[in-house]
């Protein structure tokens, strides 16, 4: 998945009347794993040539550990 695909999915469901500000983002490694709530998103990697072009983002979760 890339950022544009995520954007298009979110845009599509918002067009059906869903208020995205009320939708929690969760993550699961697979169907049998526990749910982790995504608490933030951040820039991750940049291109190796110029280090100016964003090539990935990360979703973060704050652990209580």
Q: Is the pLDDT of residue 63 over 80?
A: no
Cβ neighbors of 41 (< 8 A, separation 6 or more) are 57, 58, 59, 60
What is the structure's pLDDT at 12?
97
pLDDT in tens, 11-45: 999 999 999 999 999 999 999 999 999 999 999 99
End-to-end CA distance of the chain: 29
What is the structure's pLDDT at 62?
82
pTM, two decimals, is 0.77
The domain segmentation of the chain, as residue ranges, is 23-65
């Amino acid at each position: 998945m890339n950022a544009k695909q995520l954007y298009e999915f979110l845009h599509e469901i918002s067009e059906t009347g869903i208020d995205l500000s009320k939708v929690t983002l969760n993550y699961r490694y697979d169907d049998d794993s526990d749910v982790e709530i995504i608490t933030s998103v951040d820039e991750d990697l940049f291109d190796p040539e110029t280090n100016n072009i964003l090539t990935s983002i990360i979703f973060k979760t704050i652990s209580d550990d």
